[in-house]
Chain A
């Protein structure tokens, strides 16, 4: 049976990983290649690279780095950030991405998901949704979580899946950075509504949060986090060992 996946997310600006890390043995902790390889060698099931550059120059650096990453690391790579058109899909897929994650691009252009899924296949299109509670409703936010779109999140996500998104990354703005655990009610609402893999993001602070996630919501397929991995609060081999001891299927 398929394992639960553990996915570190690396934010990249101008070709460098933004948040520094304190891993011993890494010569250059801001190198996407070195850090990605470290994770790949230490049990990450997949990697997400998020391009947070705004400039065209930075974007070029990102694709150069991506090509190097894909030539070095042989696990699935998802790439997101600045994906607004089919040309953007093409650009990162050519550099070795396996899946492409769209966020604001899907909000701006409702046809993007459908067009990309038709061209590259559903499995290639990942919908990344930033969601926050507003007036007792789950709302989709755009522009890195800064702008309320006014759209109800579950039905919007469902619509994107119907259009061909093959996977959903659900980022809870409410729990992001709080490190008190994943947003289980929000994840439950989404994972009940769609039949594609759902990746939980936002809120993990310790190993126990991942155990709670997969035990409470067996339909959730993967847990994604950034800084707790980068700063070493949670080490992936230990995390996976703990999941295994709690009868959660993982690749060791």
Chain B
């Protein structure tokens, strides 16, 4: 059973549907007691980092997620949810994340070669660097929408994608997984990544 963490950020309809489409029971909840019964957790997120981090804190879900991850329950952060796994973000000021992974979230602004649009939006190719989650997805195209990316995360880097520079596409450390792209919007490739997460 997959628990999708609802902390008031973004639309979780597609995410829940995508787990159901692969035959996995998934529920959406903001309640730590209910979520603690799940076998694995998904931390979604769209929007601004500071906003999302604050909502996690004010609901008390930040310490819950940290404790669950540290106890070894598989956790998958998606998009902003992946960025929240890191120590901090430079998105409009400096903001603290969950600190489960080393590294920080930085803007693409000023770091990309001339002429590349921000946000990085569309289908881009995965280049595997390590880890278990994307073992069968090397070279596949997945769907990205983001303007910030994780940097200095060499210790957990699982995949990059090329957008003028290598952009962190996925991270992984023990049972903590993160995808910058949206597996729930990446067609059959994305569904098989979610299926694989459910076996790890």
**C-alpha spacing A70/B17, complex, angstroms:** 8
Which of B36-44, B99-107, B118-126 is the contact stretch? B118-126
B contacts with A, residue count (CB < 8 A): 31
> Which chain A residues numbered 183 to 200 have a C-beta less than 8 Å away from chain B?
195-197
Q: Flag if A75 contacts B122 (CB, 8 Å).
A: no
A contacts with B, residue count (CB < 8 A): 28
Q: Flag if B122 contacts A74 (CB, 8 Å).
A: no
> Which chain B residues numbered 179 to 200 have a C-beta less than 8 Å away from chain A?
184-188, 190-191
Chain B interface (Cβ within 8 Å of chain A)? 11, 13-14, 17-18, 20-21, 46-47, 117, 119-125, 141, 143-145, 162-164, 184-188, 190-191
**C-alpha spacing A48/B18, complex, angstroms:** 19
Q: Flag if A70 contacts B47 (CB, 8 Å).
A: no
At the interface, yes or no: A3 with Cβ under 8 Å from chain B? yes
**C-alpha spacing A224/B18, complex, angstroms:** 26
At the interface, yes or no: A93 with Cβ under 8 Å from chain B? yes
At the interface, yes or no: A96 with Cβ under 8 Å from chain B? yes
> Which chain A residues numbered 58 to 93 have a C-beta less than 8 Å away from chain B?
67, 70-72, 74-76, 93
Question: Could you tell me the dominant secondary structure of chain A's interface residues?
Answer: loop
At the interface, yes or no: A171 with Cβ under 8 Å from chain B? no
The one of B11, B18, B117, B188 that contacts A197, using a Cβ cutoff of 8 Å:
B117
Contacts of B121 on A, CB cut-off 8 Å? 2, 123, 166-167, 197
Instruction: Given A76-B185, A221-B122, output 18 extra A-B contacts at Cβ < 8 Å.
Output: A2-B124, A5-B122, A70-B14, A71-B13, A71-B17, A71-B21, A74-B18, A74-B186, A74-B188, A74-B190, A75-B185, A93-B11, A98-B185, A121-B47, A122-B119, A166-B121, A167-B121, A251-B141
Q: Flag if A96 contacts B13 (CB, 8 Å).
A: yes
